[in-house]
A and B are shown apart, each in its own frame.
Chain A
Amino acid sequence: MTNPIADVLISETVLVTGTNTTENHPIFANYLKEAVLKHGTKILVIDPRRIDLVDYAELYLQPKPGSDIAWINGLMHIIVKEGWAAQEYIDERCEGFAEFAENLKKFTPEYVSGVTGLNEDELYAAAKLYGQAAPASILYAMGITQHTSGTDNVKSLGNLAMLCGNMGIPGGGVNPLRGQNNVQGACDMGGLPNVYTGYQTVDNEDVRAKFAKAWGLETEALDAVPGLKLTEMFPAAAEGKIKAMYIMGENPLVSDPDLTHIEHCVEALDFFVVQDIFLTETAQKADVVLPGVSFAEKDGTFVNSERIVQRIRKALTIAGEAREDRDIIAQISTRMGYEMNYENAAAIMKEINEVTPSYGGITYDRLENGGLAWPCPDTDHPGTPILHVDKFARGKGLFFAIEHQPPAEECDKEYPFVLTTGRVLAHFHTGTMTRKGVGLNKVHPEIKAEINPEDAARLGVVADDLLTIASRRGSIEVKAMLSDRPAAGVVFVPFHFHEIAVNRLTNAALDPVAKIPEYKVCAVKVEKA
């Protein structure tokens, strides 16, 4: 996020899109409700699902899944035409505006209405609600990114924020809500194929030289070419290019798209190691399973959506021989001839401080007094709650001219429904944690597919009837829940349930840049089972 969560309390308008905030980020949703109820903030929800937050919204638009670029460009077309753009801000702080504005011309309300299914009045009202507000914030999550156009969807939201002068100011910004406790940290720490910690690129020789020195290696020992992304590794395994995999704390055999294909890829591996706290569906396929420990059994840090680094603390020891993950990694490394030896988690953070400019001042001592938002270059620095203040990180904010592109798989006669996937309030990701106890299963005991009552009536389906949902890749049987959350022609199925794994149906088509799969749109047929 460019801005703190609490900033929505001072936003005049908050555009909420592709985030089912009340279920997936409930505490953030508290702030949104408080903003509406106590501070007069107006919420604009634009989402293919009629999420619960709509009850608090000033305006709700329900576009067709996969039409995000069209409606974002459509709003910007109206904002420019009506003279609501922050021209002074654009001239002073941004570049690329002329080409961008030229591209907007064809996104007339009439054209956009045809692509998105939204009517022209709705588009105008939404453009006004965001375009005339100062400041206005944008919140999004995987509903924006999990598309073959995910990168362009995000860039489009960036365009919208810059167009109205909302970047780098309190109450503004473009704010992706991070879906997992430390997905921000895993990225910050270089758990990505193209960057070291703090987004220092692997193809930069100076960076490689710095890390080689810190790690006691020759610069040549470090690979200069970006590696494979997760969604590329599995297909590479099937092609025989990847022979071995080491997976720590992930369950791709439930979470990845087109599972049947992923299973085939994993089977092609010569050697497969999984490190986890449970014998997950992925661990079951491994040659070696290494027992790690949960967040409750170790010291360390997580980074939240706001880029705030916060402590986790060891609270107990679990019986058995499970070991801290850092010990396991260090042991394997040492046995492979590259010695790693750290006394504790704080010693690792010290090394992170040394090699990562944005983490230079984030020490365990300081974290005892609360979290710190990076960039925090030195120990006197207070942290940076808002990014891009006064000037953008790259200098000028760059506008992109972006074309609408349809989803990889569109509905046809045989597969007339759009399937979209996501989470429910009481469960998390592949259910490995939330489905283990009694409590959360009491609240949400079983998987159900949300289907619009209009479709249900047409199919002769009532609540709890079994549906067969099939795509070109697979088929599942799942109970129906009649709900006006999805529009007619759209079904929603959560992905927490391995025994009815919706990812047997999803499409592994990827965004060309981010290589994120199109979980939010694939074509399916729906029948009464």
Chain B
Amino acid sequence: MVTLTIDGKEVTVPQGTTILEAARSVDIKIPTLCYHDRMSPIGSCRMCVVEIEGFAHPMAACTTPVEDGIEVATISDRLTRIRQDSLKLILVNHPLDCPVCDKGGECLLQDLTYEFGIDQVEYSAAKVDRDSQYASPLIRYWPDRCIMCLRCVTACQEIKGIGAISVKGDGYGAQVVTVDADKCQSCGECLQVCPTGALTEDLSRYKGRTWLIERVPTTCTYCGCGCQLELNVQAGRVMAVTAQDGVGVNQGSLCVKGRFGYEFINSDERLTTPLIKKNGKFEEASWDEALTLVADKFSAIKAEHGPGAIGGLTSARCSNEENYLFQKFMRAAVGTNNVDHCARL
């Protein structure tokens, strides 16, 4: 174990811990932008700089390991100036188009700009035309908003083990490019970790502001992984699907179906009224009419042919509670064990 002091507070952590992790372990907040819990430190943004007693230059807390006896300061006028300068340099590359950005309201860069009171940027650079082509048709890349934090590239490589995107060029001209579109699984991990609006979900662009969206935590309806996700709902429509870092088996990741397969919920093709077939054609019916018809027919068939003449298929799509009721209905109300579902299919 290693003992150090951070802002006057003594901290003991295992060897190899970074200063950032050590600070977080005692609830000392160091501003970060490119750092993400699920990835190895990227060290691109310079927001997490700290001063270490005896060292002339500030160090990035996310990449610097602790050492026994060091004294670390996370707050100072000098650090604030460095962080402000870093932000200003980032903002050269980032238009303040927050009013038309889907990320507005929950953008890490917006929050930091506000926190550090950046009301003007003295630097400027000639506009570079950048390619907005992206690996997935479901995600839009806004190269002018991209701050080259490299979270997306790192996530594709480290979290998904894929590597469909990379960086081309350097300095001001650098941008994220697709290296292998065939490899891209459209999982949206890049979208999930993007701290700004440089990557946006292209199914819900301009459909809702983040502060008007209600996020309802639930379980994915596709495969049996049981991923925990949030339905982003506004005015009775699902606008997007997101996931919380660290929650459930998926820990914040999703796949293409979980993240983008929500359109069926608000589809115009949803059934909205009971239907009864009359002379080979469906006609809309009231619930009372439909339920009475079903109950009467089942009762008549049960009376004439016995309960075993009725079969029911419950559903792997439905909830436990519904499956419970369905089998209870077949067994208690109809009186047969002819109940099954598509476990085999």
- Which A residues fall within an 8 A CB radius of B? 5-6, 22, 24-28, 30, 33-34, 36-37, 56, 145-146, 177-194, 196-197, 202, 211, 215, 217, 221-223, 225-231, 233, 236-237, 241-250, 252, 255-256, 270-271, 273, 276-279, 283, 286-292, 294-298, 300-306, 308-323, 325-326, 328-333, 335-338, 340, 342, 345, 348-349, 351-352, 370-371, 425-428, 432-434, 436-440, 442-443, 514-517, 519
Contacts and interface: CB of A to CB of B under 8 A. Distances in A.
B313 A306 contact: no
B237 interface: yes
Interface string B316-328: 1111111111111
Contacts of B310: 242-246
B315 A245 contact: no
Q: Which of B214, B266, B343 has the most CB of A within 10 A?
A: B343
Interface in B85-99: none
B225 A221 contact: no
Interface in B214-242: 214, 216-228, 231, 233, 236-238
Contacts of B238: 296, 315-316
B79 interface: no
Contacts of A315: 214, 216, 218, 231, 233, 238
A287 B318 CA distance: 22
Contact of A437 (B261, B299, B317, B337): B261
A26 B185 contact: yes
Contact of A190 (B277, B308, B324, B345): B324
Given A246-B311, A338-B332, 17 more contacts: A27-B249, A178-B223, A180-B317, A182-B318, A244-B310, A245-B311, A291-B272, A300-B322, A306-B249, A312-B219, A313-B218, A318-B266, A326-B325, A332-B333, A425-B185, A439-B261, A443-B138
A349 B160 CA distance: 36
B120 interface: no
B207 interface: no
A521 to B, nearest CB: 15
Contacts of A5: 225, 249
A249 B315 contact: yes
17 contacts: A30-B159, A185-B320, A215-B332, A217-B332, A229-B340, A233-B311, A242-B309, A248-B314, A305-B224, A315-B238, A331-B287, A333-B328, A338-B333, A426-B257, A433-B222, A437-B267, A517-B344
Contacts of B219: 181, 295, 302, 304, 310-312
A438 B223 contact: no
A34 B161 contact: yes
Given A222-B332, A352-B321, A426-B257, A287 B277 contact: yes
Nearest to B309: A243
B1 interface: no
Contact of A244 (B227, B264, B297): B297
Contacts of B272: 291, 318-322
Interface stretch (B2-10, B20-28, B142-150, B288-296): B288-296
Q: Which of B217, B299, B326 has the most CB of A within 10 A?
A: B326
Interface string B195-227: 000000001000000000010111111111111
B329 A340 contact: yes
A277 B267 CA distance: 10
B255 interface: yes
A326 B231 contact: no
B248 interface: yes
A284 to B, nearest CB: 8
A145 B233 CA distance: 39
Contacts of B160: 30, 33
Contacts of A215: 328, 332
Contacts of B228: 310
A325 B320 CA distance: 11
Q: Which of A186, A328, A330, A352 has the most CB of B within 10 A?
A: A186
Given A322-B272, A336-B295, A296 B315 contact: no
Contacts of A231: 344
B298 A336 contact: yes
Contact of B261 (A277, A290, A300, A434): A434
Given A33-B161, A246-B298, A185 B319 contact: yes
A270 B223 contact: no
A132 to B, nearest CB: 26
B153 interface: no
Contacts of A30: 159-161, 250, 253
B104 to A, nearest CB: 23
Contacts of B178: none
Nearest to A271: B297
A229 B337 CA distance: 9
A405 B266 CA distance: 48
Nearest to B297: A271
Given A288-B294, A322-B271, A180 B344 contact: no
A22 B136 CA distance: 17
A243 B311 CA distance: 8
Contact of A321 (B216, B273, B333, B341): B273
B263 A186 contact: no
B273 to A, nearest CB: 5
B282 interface: yes
Contact of B327 (A184, A190, A228, A336): A190
Q: Which of B185, B214, B333 has the most CB of A within 10 A?
A: B333
A144 to B, nearest CB: 13
A56 B231 contact: no
Contacts of B312: 245-248
A217 B233 CA distance: 43
Given A287-B277, A315-B216, A228 B161 contact: no
Contacts of A340: 325, 328-329, 333
Given A246-B313, A304-B249, A426-B257, A191 B216 contact: no
Nearest to B231: A315
Contacts of B333: 332-333, 336-338, 340
B43 interface: no
Given A271-B301, A426-B186, A517-B344, A181 B223 contact: yes
A465 B4 CA distance: 68
A122 to B, nearest CB: 25
Interface string B267-278: 101111111110
